[in-house]
Amino acid sequence: MADLRSNFIGIKSPNPFWLASAPPTDKEYNVRRAYEAGWGGVVWKTLGSEGPPVVNVNGPRYGVIHGADRRVLGINNIELITDRPLEVNLREIKSVKRDYPDRALIISLMVPCDEESWKAILHRIEDTGADGVELNFGCPHGMAERGMGSAVGQVPEYIEMVTRWVKKHSRMPCIVKLTPNITDVRKPAEAAKRGGADAVSLINTINSITSVDLDLFAPQPTIDGKGSHGGYCGPAVKPIALNMVAEIARSAETRGIPISGIGGVTTWRDAAEFMALGAGNVQVCTAAMTYGFKIVQEMISGLADYLDSHQMQLDDLIGRAVPNVTDWQHLNLNYITKAVIDQDLCISCGRCYAACEDTSHQAIAMNPGRVFEVIEEECVACNLCLDVCPVENCITMRELEIGEIDKRTGEPRREYANWTSHPNNPMAAQAAE
């Protein structure tokens, strides 16, 4: 079986699956059970400095978006950082780390934005035996209004400044956790790098209102008739997280900075996708909250099988897809495909027809007896018919051979041409003159 041992910025773990800082990692009881289930590491639920106690709401903390089968697609939460005393958390961290020396244990931190507060907490955590710290610059609710969390993560200068303080007052590896609630995620990543961060992790949760109670006229979760925005996570945010990870992995300014990928990881496949886009490991929250700690076993066996079947080591996977992430103008505009409907699999539901007819292209004919056929002269290869078809593999895309006539244009398929060199691009035409 493939060797899944991971070394992320010098922090070793038996596999690259860590639990993200959140309720599943907020106490010794949980973390011990997580390790027993097989998790390679955990990021302890965010600790704050001593001071006024953190008080959570006593009403619902979560708003959930379900799929048609009631599967959890996304969770919105209005929870704060740990509301347990710092002393208790530190004692528990020490005890767990002593008993599980081979597992990664990272402490997530969020304290007010002044050097003394950071120095004080770093000194408090030093003798816990923890492997590193993660700076929570991401939580979008509750703490942000107090000048912490995403209020820091949205200002690159603050990120750089706090990261410098952390590196100055601690020898621990430092991961900066980024907020997605920002226009260009490369900017905070660059700031973290300038500040001396050993790695970045992303994404924290996305600002959101999941739904509105139409009797109370208030956002859900509703606390005594009112609601506030919360942080969204789970499978629904994975595409956003993947893009942000890829942006950091391929940007010249941030290329090479280790990345811990977070956001909607539920299966080994999700994890492999994050890694292919440059993440050195992954962190998981919603999936563990939804299905329990044992889901890590599927992740471990699935990733090992995948690596074995592709004769790859874990390191071969990390970043393997990054060179294939490009900007639109570099895509091959002479790559031509056409939809093909397998009549043996078609159940004549007509969804492909409705989608194509009412979207734009009118490239599917409904023949007598509800036989649906692609009109190649009209098909622009958008893939929508395949996407809406309820039968797997009933509609596929066929790639035209070089030289084969594209019935839509009447032209043969030519060799590679991207927009930069395309004859329809006025800039390219000018350059050629």
Q: Residue from 15, 30, 128, 136 that binds ligand FMN (CB under 6 A)?
A: 136
Strands 174-177 and 199-202: parallel
Cβ neighbour number for residue 77 with a 10 Å cutoff: 26
CB within 8 Å of 251: residues ≥ 6 apart: 186, 189, 190
Q: Determine, following the binding rule CB under 6 A, whether residue 204 of this chain makes contact with ligand FMN.
A: yes
Q: Is residue 352 annotated as part of the catalytic site, yes or no?
A: no
Minimum distance, C-beta of residue 311 to ligand FMN, in the bound complex (Å): 29
Between residues 125 and 139, which has the closer beta carbon with respect to ligand FMN? 139
Pick from 390, 354, 355, 350: which is nearest to 370 by CA? 350
Buried-state track 329-356, b at ≥16 Cβ within 10 A, e below 16: eeeeebebebbbbeeeebeeeebbbebb
* 156 contributes a contact to ligand FMN by CB under 6 A: no
Smallest gap, in angstroms, from Cβ of residue 57 to ligand FMN?
12
**Under rule CB under 6 A, residue 75 binds ligand FMN:** yes
Q: By CB under 6 A, is residue 22 in contact with ligand FMN? A: yes
Nearer Cβ to ligand FMN, position 274 or 372?
274
Q: How far is the CB of 74 from ligand FMN (least distance, A)?
A: 8
234 binding ligand FMN? (CB under 6 A) = yes
Concatenating the DSSP letter of every residue in 334-348 gives T--EEEEE-TTT---
Report the sign of the C-alpha dihedral through residues 397, 398, 402, 403, in that order: negative
Site string for ligand FMN, 343-372 (x = CB under 6 A): ------------------------------
Type and span of the H or E element at 272: helix 268-276
Altogether, the residues listed in the chain come to a count of 433
- What's the rounded Cα separation, in Å, for the pair 332 and 334? 5
Q: Could you say which of 205, 210, 254, 281 contacts ligand FMN (CB under 6 A)?
A: 205
Question: Distance of alpha carbon 103 from its chain centroid, rounded?
Answer: 23
Phi and psi angles of residue 152, each rounded to the nearest 5 degrees, phi first: -85, -45
- CB nearer ligand FMN, residue 133 or residue 287: 287
Q: Which two tokens stand for residue 318?
A: 């990390």
Site residue total, ligand FMN (CB under 6 A):
28
Judged by beta carbon, residue 136 or residue 208, the one nearer ligand FMN is 136
Q: Any contact of residue 271 with ligand FMN (CB under 6 A)?
A: no
Contact stretch for ligand FMN (CB under 6 A) within 71-79, 92-100, 319-327, 345-353: 71-79
**Near ligand FMN in 38-67, by CB under 6 A:** 45-46
Dihedral, CA atoms, 18, 20, 23, 25, nearest 10 degrees?
40
Q: Which range touches ligand FMN (CB under 6 A), out of 94-102, 191-199, 282-290, 322-330?
A: 282-290
User: Parallel, antiparallel, or unpaired: how do β-strands 337-341 and 174-177 relate?
Assistant: unpaired
Nearer to ligand FMN, 45 or 361 (CB): 45
Helix (H, G, I), strand (E, B) or coil at 145: helix
Near ligand FMN by CB under 6 A: residue from 89, 108, 154, 170: 108
Residues between 169 and 198 with contacts to ligand FMN, criterion CB under 6 A: 177
Closest-CA residue to 263 (of 302, 290, 232): 232
- Residue 403 has a CB neighbour count (10 Å cut-off) of 9
Residue 314 binds ligand FMN, judged by CB under 6 A: no
Q: Which of 413, 349, 357 is nearest to 384 (CA)?
A: 357
Considering the complex, what minimum distance in angstroms separates the CB of residue 25 from ligand FMN? 8
340, amino acid identity: V
Q: Is 233 near ligand FMN (CB under 6 A)? A: yes
30 binds ligand FMN, rule: CB under 6 A = no
For residue 402, say if its preceding peptide bond is cis, omega within 30 degrees of 0.
no
**Considering beta carbons, is residue 259 or 265 the nearer one to ligand FMN?**
265
Q: Is 257 in the site for ligand FMN (CB under 6 A)?
A: no
Rank residues 153 and 195 by Cβ distance to ligand FMN and give the closer one.
153
> What CA–CA distance (Å, rounded) separates 12 from 201?
16
Catalytic: which of 113, 139, 352, 394? 139
How far is it, in rounded angstroms, from Cα 395 to Cα 407?
Answer: 19
Residue number, 13 or 46, with CB nearest to ligand FMN: 46
Interacting residues toward ligand FMN by CB under 6 A = 20-23, 45-46, 75, 77, 79, 81, 108, 136, 138-139, 177, 204-205, 233-234, 237, 262-265, 284-287
Catalytic positions, written as ranges: 139
